A and B are shown apart, each in its own frame.
Chain A
Amino acid sequence: MITIKNLHASIEGKAILKGLNLTVNAGEVHAIMGPNGAGKSTLASILAGREEYEITAGEIDFDGKDLLDLSVEERAREGLFLAFQYPVEIPGVSNVNFLRTAINEIREHKGETAMSAKEFMALVRDKSALVELDSKLASRSVNEGFSGGEKKRNEIFQMAMLNPKLAILDETDSGLDIDALRIVANGVNELKTDQNATIIITHYQRLLDYIIPDFVHVLYDGRIVKTAGKELALELEEKGYDWIKENKVN
C-alpha cells in the first residue's frame, strides 16, 4: 500500500526526518510510537502533503503512484486520510456540506457519478451512528466550539464517510475519555478490511488494547529505530524510551 524509503525532511533548515523507512501493506495496522518531538506528526503531515516541509531525500510509493508528486487533494482522492492531532475549527463551513463536496470531488476524480442527496444523508446517519457523533454536531460548522474529544470523534466520522485506503491517525486517542476511546476504536475496527490499512500514532498502549496492531514501530530522532509486534507497546509503556535510545547508539 505504502512504501517509504530513506525519507529525509526538514523545516526552516532544521532536519526532522533523517532516513525513515516504512512499509505498510493492505490489511495491516501499524502503530508508531516515540518520544515528543521525534517527528511523528511531521511524517503524518508530509504524507498528507503539507507544503512547509522540504523533502531533501527519499521516495514514497503509494499504491503504485509517486505520492510526493501528488497535490494534497489528489492524495486524499487516491485514498489517503489523515486524522489530525489538532483539527482546525472552520466557522461558517458546515461539516456535512463540506463532506458532501469532498465525496463528490473524490467520485469525480474516480470517474464516478455524484452521490445523491438521499444516499448522502443515509451515509451521514450511518456513519455518525458508528462513532456516536451527535447528528447536531455533524451538521454544525467544522469543529467550531467542539470539545477536544468531539473534534477527535469528528475526525473518525470523516474517515468513515470518506472510506480511505490508508488512514493515519495522529494521536486520535489523546483527549478522549474511556468511553470515547472505545467508541473511536470500535469505529476504526469496523472500517477495517483486507483492502485498507491504518497507521496509528499514539503515546499510549491503551488504544492498542482496542485496536490490535500488526506492527509497532518506534520513531526516534527522525528514524524508525525499532519494529516489533504488539508486545513492544507494553514494553515501552513499562520501560519508556531510554533503553531504545541507548540501543540506537550502536
Chain B
Amino acid sequence: MGTSTKATLQSFRSNLSAAKLALPSVLTAKNEGDLSVMEFPTSKHEAWKYTRLNRVAKIELESNVASPINWEDFNMVKDAYTFVFQNTTCIYISSDLPEGISIKIGNEIGSADWLSSINESHVAKLNVAHAQNGCVINIAKGVQVDKPIQIIYITDGPKQPNFWRNQLQLDAGAKAEVHIGYFSKDAIDAYSNVHWSVFLKENSHLIMTKIQNDGEANFHFSTENIHQLKDSNFTLNTMTLNGAFVRNDLLVKVEGENCETHLNGAYVMKGNQHVDNHTTIDHIFPNCNSYELYKGVMGDKSTAVFNGKVFVRPDAQKINAFQSNANVLLSDDATINSKPELEIYADDVKCSHGSTTGQLDLEAVFYLRSRGISEIDARSMVVAAFMHDVLSKVASNDIKSYIYQQLAVRFNLHLQRED
C-alpha cells in the first residue's frame, strides 16, 4: 500500500484469511455484503466519537510463524482448567476436565454449536469474517465447576492479526469462574479481535475476569455479548493493564427476572495509551439489579473513554441500576471522556449514575511524605487506595495477586493485600 493510498477497511482486510471456524448462516449470510460497503467508523459515529481508528486502519497486518513458547510464562492462576491459544493455534489443553464441562476447540466446533447472538459493529463483523480459532464451552445443568477455567490468548509476532471467537454457556443452576488473559510476545502493531458470546440459563452463576495485558504497541478489540436468563448472576471484571489501544464493547441483555449483573472495570494507563470502555446493560425484564463500577488512573498523555448505557424497557419495573465511573488524572495531558447514558422507559425504577474526574489527592500525598515515605511511594499508595475498591471486587486471590504484581512492575503501584 503506497503512502498516497487511503487506508480503508478493504485495504486493512487484504492480508487477512477468511474464517476457519464453521459459523452458522445467521451470522455469515449478510456479513460479507455488509462489510464490503462498510468503512472504519469515524468520529462522526457516536460510538467512536473519542476513539480514532486511523492508527488501526494503517497497520499492514501479516501472519507470523509462531515460535515455540512456554505458556506457563503467562499463567495467572495456580490451579485451573487451562486452555492456551498462541496466535491461531491452540497450544495447550488441560487434560483433566471433569464431568459436566465440555469444550470444543477450532474445527471441533460445528456451525450448529453457535447460539444466536448478533452484534452489528464493524469489529464484530470483522470477527465473523476472519475468525480463525476459539472455543465453545458448555457447563452442564447444576454443575458447580470446582476450579476456575483459565483461557490464555497470546499474540505472537509483529503486525500479527488474531481473530478469536468463543462461546460460553452455563446451563440451569451451573456455577463457574472463568479467567481470560490477553497477552503478547515480540509483537508491535499487532491486532487482536476477540468475541465472546455468553449465555447464562436460569439460576446460573458466572464470574468472568478479563486481564488485558497486551504489549504497549498493540491493538486489542474485545466484544462480549451476554445473555442472562431469570435468576442468573453475572459478573464481568475488565482489567486493562496494558496495550496501545484497547476497546471493550460489552452488551448485557437481561432476558429474565431476578437477575443480578455486575460490571467492574479498572484501567491504568500511561504513555500514549488509549482505552475505550463501551458498556450496555439492557434491562428487558422486571425485578433486576445491575451494578457498574469503572475506575481509571491516567498518566502522561493517555486517554480514556467510558460510555455506559443503561436501558430500562417499558415492562421492566422495579429495576435498580447503579453506575459509577471515577478517574484520576496524573498529568495535565491525560484525558478522559466519560458519558453515562440512561434510557428509562419504565416508571418504577431506581437508577443512579455518577462520573468523577480529579487530580491525585495531593494533601494525602503530602501527609504520607511528612511521615517519611518517598514521594513516589506516597503517590503510589494514594493511587492504589483509589483503585482499591474496584480491584477488591476481583474475587480470585490469584488474579488479584497477578494484577497487583503487574501494577507494581509497570507503575510502581504497591497495593496492600487485605486478606
Do A and B pair up? The answer is: yes
Interface on A for B, CB 8 Å cutoff?
48-50, 71-73, 75-77, 81-82, 84, 87-88, 90-94, 97-99, 101-103, 105-106, 109, 141-142, 158, 162
Contact partner of B367 (CB less than 8 A), chosen from A81, A90, A106, A141, is A90
Interchain CB contact (< 8 A) of B364 among A50, A73, A88? A88
- Is B384 touching A77 in the complex (CB atoms < 8 A)? no
Set of chain A residues within 8 Å of B377, measured between Cβ atoms: 101, 105
Within 8 A of A (CB), among B366-419: 366-375, 377-378, 381-382, 384-386, 388-389, 416, 418
Any chain A CB within 8 A of the CB of B347?
Answer: no
Residue of B nearest to A106 (CB): B372
Minimal beta-carbon separation of A96 from chain B (angstroms): 10
Q: Is the CB of B371 within 8 A of A88?
A: no
Report the Cα distance A161→B401, complex, angstroms. 29
**Which of B363, B368, B372, B418 meets A77, CB within 8 Å?**
B372
Nearest CB on B from A150, distance (A): 16
Q: Specify which chain B residues have a CB less than 8 angstroms from the CB of A91 in the assembled complex.
A: 385, 388
Could you tell me if A102 and B371 are in contact, using CB atoms closer than 8 angstroms?
yes
List of A residues within 8 angstroms of B108 by Cβ = none
Name the residue on B nearest A90 (C-beta): B364
Assuming the contacts A93-B382, A93-B385, A98-B381, asked whether A88 and B367 have C-beta atoms less than 8 A apart, the reply is yes
Confirm or deny: B361 has a beta carbon within 8 angstroms of a beta carbon on chain A. Answer: yes
Please tell me if the beta carbons of A50 and B369 are within 8 angstroms of each other in the complex: no
CB-defined contacts of A77 to chain B, threshold 8 Å? 372
A-side contacts of B381, CB under 8 Å? 90, 93, 98, 101
With a cutoff of 8 Å between Cβ atoms, the chain A residues found around residue B369 in the complex are: 49, 71-73, 76
> Do the beta carbons of A88 and B373 come within 8 Å of each other?
no
A102-B373 in contact (CB<8A): yes
Which listed residue (A73, A84, A103, A162) contacts B374, Cβ 8 A?
A: A73
In the complex, the answer to whether B416 meets A97 with C-beta atoms within 8 Å is yes
- Tell me if A162 and B370 are in contact (CB < 8 A): no
B residues touching A (Cβ–Cβ < 8 Å)?
361, 363-364, 366-375, 377-378, 381-382, 384-386, 388-389, 416, 418
Given A97-B416, A105-B377, is A88 in contact with B363 using a C-beta cutoff of 8 Å? yes
Number of A-B contacts (CB under 8 A): 79
Q: 23 interchain pairs (CB within 8 A)?
A: A49-B370, A50-B366, A71-B369, A72-B369, A73-B372, A73-B373, A81-B370, A81-B371, A82-B370, A84-B367, A87-B367, A88-B363, A88-B364, A88-B367, A90-B364, A90-B367, A91-B385, A92-B384, A92-B389, A93-B368, A99-B371, A102-B371, A142-B367
Chain A nearest CB, measured from B125 CB (Å): 42
In the bound assembly, the distance between CA atoms of A90 and B377 in angstroms comes to 14
Q: A162–B370 Cα gap in the complex (Å)?
A: 11
* Residue on B nearest A92 in the bound complex, by CB: B385
| Nearest chain A CB to B405 CB, angstrom units | 17
A141: min CB distance to chain B, Å: 8
Q: In the complex, how many angstroms separate the beta carbon of B257 from the nearest chain A beta carbon?
A: 36
A81 CA to B371 CA, complexed, in Å: 7
Nearest CB in chain A: distance from B259 CB, A:
30
CA distance A49 to B366 in the complex (A): 9
Residue of B nearest to A74 (CB): B372
How many Å lie between the Cα of A67 and that of B361 in the bound state?
A: 25
Q: How far is the CB of B327 from chain A (nearest CB, A)?
A: 16
B363 x A102 contact (CB < 8 A): no
B410 → chain A closest CB, angstroms: 20
A162:B364 contact, CB within 8 angstroms = no
Judge whether B366 and A90 touch: CB under 8 Å: no
Q: When chains A and B are docked, how far (Å) is the Cα of A109 from the Cα of B416?
A: 22
Please name the 6 residue pairs, one residue from A and one from B, whose CB atoms are nearest each other, closest first. A92-B385, A76-B372, A92-B388, A72-B369, A102-B371, A106-B372
Q: How far is the CA of A106 from the CA of B369 in the complex (A)?
A: 11
Determine whether the beta carbon of A98 is less than 8 Å from that of B368: yes
